[in-house]
Amino acid sequence: MGGNALKDIQVRRVLADEYHKHLVPEAKGRLKKLFGARVEVVPAYREKESFGDIDILLEADNLPANWHQQLFDDFQPASRFVNNVVSIEFHGTQLDIVPTPKEEFDWTLGYYAFNDLGNLIGRISSLYDIRFGHRGMHHWVYDLDRSTYVFRQLRITLDWDAGLNALGFDVKRWHAGFDKLEDIFDFVVDSKYFQLKPFLLENRNHRSRVRDRKRKSYMSFLEYVKSDEVRAKEKPLTLDTKGFFKEVLKPAFPEFYVEYQKAFSDMIAHCKFHRLYNGRRVTHVTGLTGKPMGDFMRWAKPIVQDAAFDLINEGQEVTDALIMKWHAAYLEERGAAVIENNL
């Protein structure tokens, strides 16, 4: 998506009249006839004058295994590129086909709609550790002791309207569509949680900075928010992440909130256990290092898993005694195996 996937040919931008009256109806009709699946073009703002590609979602649940080849045989493109998105040449422009599960279809269509709007919404959700992407709205629970380790990934919702509403957006306004790119920008800053900080490139990671610098609409948004009038729309941060989850997400998504509380509780127990039992502790108790330590820990893994719940309520002394006991059993079993192999 973005019109840059076909590197071996020069594709053209197409004017809105050709796009809406000819290319989109033909592409949708041929895909629908070929696969009998739901086909939707990604919505654009109404006054968009030209298009670098055609973005279409194709329901993927019942596609045949050889659907790529069927597509190529039917469309006979001069160029093609297959990744998560299938890009083909179509009447001199680029047609991007996004195979999408039925369960995620409406959400994905909403996320990709209206240029970079989904990405911009995701900047606001990031204020509250919410990942807003093309496959739904998620929260990742991280390990307290290893801040980059994702302990559990939780889906908050696949209901597009509910997701927008939770993040302070006017759902009816979104469904009405937008005339101009500036209308999309107005929609973003009118969220009741709008803050400028998460949008600024200096606050993004390297990968995001590189990606968004290439996105014309994102850079246009950064120009748009420079005005004093727009900056005056920033809202005070009255809730931290914990408060947002409790006051906003809990009533909106009660099932998610139960899963979130359980995941957090499980993560705390997980951390407590690994503070008691880990490679360093095994070395301290047994003297094992390197491969011998790894062999022992793999052997002990099922025993340790059975004991984990009880261990988190015990201290280091009890845990160390159990490590010694498990190590003795391991050595005894290894010794028996050596004797048996020598018979």
Domains and CATH numbers, the chain: 14-100 (3.30.460.10), 108-238 (no CATH), 277-342 (no CATH)
Mean pLDDT, residues 216-221? 92
CB 153 within 8 A of CB 140: yes
CB 139 within 8 A of CB 129: yes
| Beta-carbon-side half-sphere exposure of residue 105 (alpha carbons within 13 Å) | 16
CB 139 within 8 A of CB 257: no
**Rounded to two decimals, what is the model's pTM?**
0.86
CB atoms within 10 A of CB 116: 21
Say which DSSP state 19 is in.
I
- Nearest CA among 51, 53, 85 for reference residue 68: 85
> 78: pLDDT confidence band, cut at 50, 70 and 90?
very high
pLDDT at 237: 86
Give the tens place of pLDDT for each residue, 125-181.
Answer: 999 999 999 999 999 999 988 888 999 999 999 999 999 999 999 999 999 999 999
Mean pLDDT, residues 196-216? 88
Question: What token pair was written down for 328?
Answer: 């003795």
Looking at the chain, the number of H-run helices and the number of E-run strands are 17, 10
Please check the confidence at residue 339 and state whether its pLDDT lies above 60: no
Q: What share of the chain is helix, strand, coil (3-state, %, to 5)?
A: 55, 15, 30
- Which of helix, strand or coil describes residue 56? strand
Question: What token pair was written down for 159?
Answer: 């209901």
pLDDT above 70: percentage of residues in the chain: 97
> 336: pLDDT confidence band, cut at 50, 70 and 90?
low
pLDDT above 90: percentage of residues in the chain: 78
Q: Which of 6-15, 52-61, 179-188, 230-239 has the lowest mean pLDDT?
A: 230-239
CA atoms of 234 and 254, how far apart (whole Å): 29
Question: What token pair was written down for 9?
Answer: 């040919």
pLDDT at 51: 96
Triad 332, 334, 338: Cα angle to 5°: 115
Give the tens place of pLDDT for each residue, 273-285.
Answer: 889 999 999 999 9
Triad 328, 330, 332: Cα angle to 5°: 70
pLDDT at 230: 87
- Nearest CA among 265, 271, 268, 282 for reference residue 319: 282
Give the containing element (helix H, strand E) for 276: helix 254-276
Please check the confidence at residue 340 and state whether its pLDDT lies above 70: no
Say which DSSP state 167 is in.
T
CA atoms of 337 and 128, how far apart (whole Å): 55
- Nearest CA among 91, 10, 83, 3 for reference residue 42: 3
CA atoms of 165 and 248, how far apart (whole Å): 10
